[in-house]
Structure 1
Amino acid sequence: MIDITEEMVLKQKEKSSYHCDICDKSFTQKGNFSTHLRIHSGEKPYHCDVCGKSFARSSVLISHQRIHTGEKPYQCDICEKAFSVGSTLIKHKRIHTGEKPYQCNICGKSFLEKSQVTSHERIHTGEKPYHCGICGKAFSESCHLTNHKRVHTGERPYRCGVCGKSFSQTSYLNVHNKRIHSEEKRIRPQEKPHHCDFCGKSFSEASYLISHKRVHTGEKPYHCNICGKAFSERSHLINHKRIHTGEKPYHCDICDKSFSQKGHLNIHKRTHTGEKPYSCDTCGKSFSQTNHLTIHRYIHTGEKPFHCDICGKSFSQNSDVTKHKRTHTGEKPYRCHTCGKSFSDRRILRKHEDIHSRDNPCQ
């Protein structure tokens, strides 16, 4: 069986130039043409023998392998900082020269990198090309989608070097360090002898450094033997396996409800204590969960990231999209047990049931 790359290369072999039938791009060299076709085919024939990650180009694999070897052959002649990739050195030098060669076509603002101007222009266009496959939420930058996905997976790749507590985002880890360990850092700065070669971060234990490095390498050595999903931390795999086993080892001592993860139990306990640790920096309103605060903030920003795929109408909450779609589908999942009438919204059903309560006050 011939694949897309082989088929197109053979097709273009007799011509003086190589033309991609998929995107109309042309090439003068066969090698460049073959490499380009991998964008469409998804082929990644070059594999890292350390972590197993795959690449479409051998040059990208060579650059990637320097993550594992620590090799940094490109050095800045101004500050002597070293880099593993030549293009990173070029970008770095702009810090010294002040050069900002990439300009926004709309407002004229200049940037160091092309990717920065691309991200910036989405402020003007409102484009959000990165979509969560689980809840449909859209983001303007891929890193924001990556952070968001951890809400669903429970992954927490950023570990505190002092106490070992894990977080889903670096910003949460930074807040934790300031609030909990700022005094400890002043008293015992010498107690973090293990340093990350990539970002310079320090850790009190070698095991914390090993776990942290996986943020940079992308290594996920812990695999689920049921579904094959991979994780960077053993604790994340243990939490994940409870999806398959149904195990819920964390029990609420107030109402005896059980949970698969300790974090979920902590969130639940706030329903009893009334604790609301997440505050809106605009109006001061507090919430028991971070996702509730995120949804609330849309009131201030006017952002409506959830879209109806039928009519295009936008909403601030995914649940509102679900309700709205029933106007298109005619679905009425809420049924009155007294008269059998159905409704598209639970609140409308409750109002309707009040009619029966008034008609039968003694029931």
Structure 2
Amino acid sequence: MTLLIRDGQGAWREPVGHGYDNEAALQAILTEHPSLVPGVAGEAIACREFESSVGPADVVILDAEGAITVVECKLRANAEVRRTIVGQVLDYASRLWQMDVEQFEQRWIRADAGRSPFDRLHDDDSELRSRVAANLAAARFNLVLAVDALNDDLRRVVEYLNAITKPTTGVMLVEFTRHHEESLEILIPRSFGAELVDAKVDAEARMRPRWTVAQYTEWCSEHHQASLPAVEAVLDGFSEQGFEIVGGRAETPSLNAAFPRDTGERVWILNLYTDRARGPLVEVRFNAFGDTEEAAHFASAVCAVPGVTITAKQLEELHFRRRPNMPLAGFTPESARLLVRTISSALASHDA
């Protein structure tokens, strides 16, 4: 692809320079701007040279949802780009698989100037730590091959790996073309494989039957009896306030609750999940209003409910992108009902 630039009314011309001096230059860009990498959602952080015990992974990315992305960078000048990049990223991922979350944190700290990823992502309630532990145990990673030039051999490898791997492992190829002239730099990302990853994840989810309310409460009764009164109170609140409940397709029982608007639209505002370590969890979608004044009012009302483990100030600082999974064990039946009533009242006021 040819890129043209010009200054003011001058003639169009191609930039003088292109490419990278070395692979470290590409690593630095992706570490500073992890959102350039496909599959990375919302707030995210990255570190370079994450020690895997078979060598350092170029870049490891962690986002606020607990998703882990391993990036290996190679330039076309490397004659072994096709063989080495694939072997290295798979080797690094295999070393992350089943790693203890404490070990993951310590290796990140060593690679990131002594900073814990959980501190940087404001994991005050250890929710993120729990998600990362689950992803490490299940080998739920995205593997990204970052290059300065796509080629057909790498495309074929990515297609093949996505065809033979589970939906928990996504493999993507991204070309980061760089042009530069004096103080001007232009970076153009072009990805391949993201659609293949989405397709296999969607296909696997569609094959899973939706959970029922009965299955959800049965799981809670069997695995976390102490939380059952709060669970039943939330479900009663859904019924009282007219919420629509649709079973989720997560690996363990889950339910999605929608608030019906007067216009006939639905706002999917609450989710119920289950986790063997933390028990039943409730998630409030604080991002339903975006980063607005209405979002601030909504957060203030909901965060005042006893049992909610995040503050309105924290949500505002994060531009309301957090969707914390809060253990229902921290709610009484009364506060669980209050949570549903508060959300219903806030949404009804918004519609008025």
TM class by smaller structure: under 0.3
Q: Which has the higher strand share?
A: 2
Larger radius of gyration: 1
- TM-score by length of structure 1 reads 0.24
Q: With a CA cutoff of 8 Å and minimum separation of 6, indicate the structure with the bigger relative contact order.
A: 2
- TM-score by length of structure 2 reads 0.25
